Chain A
Amino acid sequence: DSGVTQTPKHLITATGQRVTLRCSPRSGDLSVYWYQQSLDQGLQFLIQYYNGEERAKGNILERFSAQQFPDLHSELNLSSLELGDSALYFCASSPRLAEIYEQYFGPGTRLTVT
């Protein structure tokens, strides 16, 4: 158990819908990262937040957005869902920003878009 929690574990929804994925980082970690994992693309970095502020963006679609709240939990919002958005979505956390720290991953949310 990494200490990172994600809800829900599974999510099934229809095309065009909007969903919210939630992540709570390890106790004391200030930085949260979101990744998407699909069979053909592997793990792809989406976005990073540090202490409530957006710090980095990867290959995140405009239909996707995220935020980190004062209690440090984070939410990833996916809208206008398409079949191709079906994937595993992982959240990871690390202690700080300025140094090299390993990222600890949560158990993921499996999103299925039908």
Chain B
Amino acid sequence: DTGVSQDPRHKITKRGQNVTFRCDPISEHNRLYWYRQTLGQGPEFLTYFQNEAQLEKSRLLSDRFSAERPKGSFSTLEIQRTEQGDSAMYLCASSPQGHAYEQYFGPGTRLTVT
């Protein structure tokens, strides 16, 4: 399977704990995006990378959130001191150079904060 993969698929954590999610984009896609989707809503943009550079962050991305893409391939999204309001599906997408709007989405990581 050469699609976007995300790990883990599900994560249950207690409030106050830190969590980290991983995204592996389609190889050779230079852009990588993170979105968050809550129940009954469409995905909301969080941040995006072009290669290893993080070029835009939404105001939804509080100081507790950090994302990296150190070698321009996989990316990690870390949430520190999780809150119940962080419970959501976290989606990763990638797109090839020159076709930024053709974003291919992964299956998502569902986070539940208890």
Instruction: Please determine whether chains A and B interact with each other in the same assembly.
Output: no
Interface residues of A (CB under 8 A from B): none
